[in-house]
A = this chain, B = another copy of it.
């Protein structure tokens, strides 16, 4: 077989797998938005069958043979061409998939499904003893998975690599340590300040239909194409790229809390813009996909925080907000801006502000690394958790539900996922600084409600590049520097220094 023919066959198989992936995407979306309450049990069976089929397709030995034919030929001569990137990613996915023995794959899937289901019941009841053996099982299987995948320094690296290709505990630790001490310092200064936003009006009555129309308007102004997407309601907001012209987002509404739905829509629309900006002519091959969770998160956080939580954004959009929400009539632009940027240490990651959010992530990362090494036992996890919360945030969780049991990730086997949240913030600040340098003062554009130039910059530099680069290479290519926490630290010090006068 010629290399050209092998490449063609790989593309064909890749497209079939991506069709199956899209089907799973619709099934998952439906499961979280529209499924009737009694439909869940059977849906889990359908998902398991289809995921099994997809796994079978992905580990077909023929893929390995086709890759052997293509690798080393002219087709992949230049490393950043579409063809070379596809072959690189197919090889990586295939090797990662076949390294996991069938038995382990089945046990992992079972432990994750059970863990998640037990967590859902045990968390509201604060029942750590019930959840503990399931988490122990998961950690033990994940360590086994890490061994099967292989690693150089840390078992953790094998897992992290599945979410953020090319990164390791060692590459992340210095950046995250620098970030941690800067954030603890900034938080300390903020807590010493006497300035506080008015806590009252944020919790006034914001009718849901107006919240929806306002958020949709803002998302469309960002450039989210609703003819190739839609907005639904789900318990936890998410974005799903079902197809090249089908990228859906969700949010959830609280009538007496403006921030919740609005910033979730902006966040998800940020992800959606990335998906809608991918090079869709290559849809179905790895080239047309988000690079990593961290890069994907950089797009959502850039829009959510750097853009939609900026003063200049609200200089333009606050008028629109006031038209819809009469409760804002006695709230000045400055008060509103301060309010949506209030910094308060809290126990729950998903409710955290820009300053404290990364501290939540950092402690999870440190605990995960220790768990994977075997230095920390699951039995000792709650104490270790509480110690770190006390040290970073000055608080102690009063129960497991608001402590070690708060996140869904570990219960479903997602260990190594958390750092991508912090990386997203870090990349976002670095990209934004570069965009600012290239486009001139972005605040001047935002004040005028002109979001197009920024999107166009992201499209050109990031979205349209698909999966050409690994995360670290992309940052270097776009900004001229390796990922560096100083951009995020500078941004946060500037913004919150000014807000809190510290």
Q: Is A254 an interface residue (CB 8 A)?
A: no
Q: Are B243 and A43 in contact (CB under 8 A)?
A: yes
**A79–B46 Cα gap in the complex (Å)?**
30
**Residues in chain B near residue A225, CB distance under 8 A:** 38
| Contact A46 to B30, CB < 8 A, known contacts A228-B36, A229-B36, A246-B35 | no
Q: Is A41 an interface residue (CB 8 A)?
A: yes
Q: Is A105 an interface residue (CB 8 A)?
A: no
Q: Which of A157-185 contact B (CB under 8 A)?
A: none
Neighbour of A20 across the interface among B34, B50, B245, CB < 8 A: B50
Q: Are B245 and A16 in contact (CB under 8 A)?
A: no
Q: Which of A230-285 contact B (CB under 8 A)?
A: 230, 242-246, 248, 283
**A242–B30 Cα gap in the complex (Å)?**
12
**A53–B53 Cα gap in the complex (Å)?**
10
**A19–B52 Cα gap in the complex (Å)?**
12
Q: Are A246 and B23 in contact (CB under 8 A)?
A: no
Query: How many monomers of this chain does the complex have?
Result: 2
Q: Is A117 an interface residue (CB 8 A)?
A: no
Q: Which of A9-61 contact B (CB under 8 A)?
A: 15-16, 19-20, 22-23, 26-27, 30, 34-39, 41-43, 45-46, 49-50, 53
Q: Is A414 an interface residue (CB 8 A)?
A: no
| Contact A243 to B42, CB < 8 A, known contacts A26-B26, A37-B227 | yes
Q: Is A226 an interface residue (CB 8 A)?
A: yes
Residue of B nearest to A284 (CB): B45
**A245–B248 Cα gap in the complex (Å)?**
25
**Residues in chain B near residue A30, CB distance under 8 A:** 26, 30
Q: Which of A395-444 contact B (CB under 8 A)?
A: none
| Contact A19 to B35, CB < 8 A, known contacts A26-B26, A27-B26 | no
Size class of the A contact interface (CB-based, 8 Å): 35 or more
**Residues in chain B near residue A45, CB distance under 8 A:** 19
Q: Are B38 and A227 in contact (CB under 8 A)?
A: yes
Nearest CB in chain B: distance from A369 CB, A = 38
Q: Are A242 and B23 in contact (CB under 8 A)?
A: no
Neighbour of A39 across the interface among B41, B50, B246, B283, CB < 8 A: B246
| Contact A22 to B38, CB < 8 A, known contacts A16-B49, A30-B30, A49-B16 | no
Nearest CB in chain B: distance from A398 CB, A = 35
Q: Are A246 and B43 in contact (CB under 8 A)?
A: yes
**A245–B36 Cα gap in the complex (Å)?**
8
Q: Are B227 and A36 in contact (CB under 8 A)?
A: yes
| Contact A228 to B22, CB < 8 A, known contacts A16-B49, A53-B53 | no
**A41–B228 Cα gap in the complex (Å)?**
11
Residue of B nearest to A246 (CB): B39
Q: Which of A328-376 contact B (CB under 8 A)?
A: none
**A225–B36 Cα gap in the complex (Å)?**
10
Residue of B nearest to A48 (CB): B19
**Residues in chain B near residue A26, CB distance under 8 A:** 26-27, 30
**A230–B39 Cα gap in the complex (Å)?**
11
Neighbour of A50 across the interface among B19, B35, B49, CB < 8 A: B19
Q: Are A245 and B23 in contact (CB under 8 A)?
A: no
Residue of B nearest to A35 (CB): B246
Nearest first, the 9 closest Cβ-Cβ pairs linking A and B are A39-B246, A38-B245, A19-B49, A42-B243, A38-B228, A19-B46, A37-B227, A22-B46, A38-B227
- Chain A interface (Cβ < 8 Å from any Cβ of B): 15-16, 19-20, 22-23, 26-27, 30, 34-39, 41-43, 45-46, 49-50, 53, 225-230, 242-246, 248, 283
19 additional A-B pairs beyond A36-B227, A38-B228, beta carbons within 8 Å, are A19-B46, A22-B42, A22-B46, A23-B27, A23-B50, A26-B26, A26-B27, A26-B30, A36-B228, A36-B245, A36-B246, A37-B227, A38-B225, A39-B228, A39-B242, A42-B245, A43-B243, A46-B243, A53-B53
20 A-B residue pairings within 8 Å (CB atoms) = A19-B45, A20-B49, A20-B53, A22-B42, A22-B46, A23-B46, A26-B26, A26-B27, A30-B30, A35-B246, A36-B229, A36-B230, A38-B225, A38-B228, A38-B246, A41-B245, A42-B243, A42-B244, A43-B243, A46-B243
